Amino acid sequence: MPEIARRAAEAKARLERVSASATSADGAVTVTVGTSGALQELSFGPRADELPRARLAQAVLATAKRAQLDAARQLTAVMAPVIGADSDAMQFLREQIPEPDVPAEEPHREPRRNPPADDDFGGPILRRDR
C-alpha cells in the first residue's frame, strides 16, 4: 500500500506540471495547453499579421489540437505506471481522452490581388468630366 501511495503522489506532482505547446508550420501561432487540454497560452508570431482572419482562426484551432494530442499522450504516460499500462483503468482513461482529429496545415498562400477598379465591369464607376 505505501508503494501505491508513493506512485500516486508522484503521478499527481507530475500531472500538475504537464503542459504541451505546439507552433504552426509557418510560425504564425503558438499554443500551450494544460493536462486537460485547456488553453493556457496563445501567442502570435509576425506571420500572423499576414493571414486573413479565417485562416488565422484555422491555424489556432489546428495548433491547439496538436498541443492537446501531446498533452493527452503525456497524461497517459504519467498514469501508466500508477494504474498499469494494460489495465482496465488505463483503457477507461484512454477512452475518456479521445485523440482529436488534427487537420493538416494548409500552406500559406499570398493573397490574390484585386484588379484595378477601372477593369471592373468594363470601366470605372465614377468618371470625371473633362
- Structural domains of the chain sorted by starting position, each given as residue range(s) with its CATH number in brackets: 2-105 (3.30.1310.10)
Q: Per residue in 21-75, pLDDT tens?
A: 999 999 999 999 998 889 999 999 999 999 999 999 999 999 999 999 999 889 8
Q: Per residue in 65-97, pLDDT tens?
A: 999 999 988 988 888 888 888 888 888 888 877
SS (H, E, C) 57-102: HHHHHHHHHHHHHHHHHHHHHHHHHHHCCCCHHHHHHHHHCCCCCC
Tell me the three cell numbers of residue 80: 501508466
Cα 94 from Cα 98, distance rounded (Å): 7
Cα 55 from Cα 39, distance rounded (Å): 19
